[in-house]
Amino acid sequence: MAKIELETGGTVWKVLVKAGDAVTDGQELFIMEVMKMEVPYEAPADGTVTALNISEGDVLEEGFVAAEVG
């Protein structure tokens, strides 16, 4: 199981998957807005989104576990 932790704090701009979705390595899961820049987060491997702990508009801190892929 891979945890996707935020590298910097920011606002969740767009969520592209939901829990239970099958994803492929490199597929964009969500996009953060950090200092007016879009920062995409990708699946680290093929698998299923087992947890999604974010919603669009959430303001989150660095290190927050946004999703898990297993």
pLDDT digits (tens, 9 = 90+) for 28-48: 999 999 999 999 999 999 999
pLDDT value at residue 36: 93
Give 37's contacts (C-beta < 8 A, 6+ positions apart).
none
In CATH, the number for domain 2-69 is 2.40.50.100
pLDDT value at residue 7: 95
Question: Which residue ranges in the chain fall short of pLDDT 50?
Answer: none
Distance of CA 23 to the CA centre of its chain: 12
Structure tokens at 19: 């829990």
pLDDT value at residue 56: 98
Residue boundaries of the structural domains of the chain = 2-69
pLDDT value at residue 60: 98
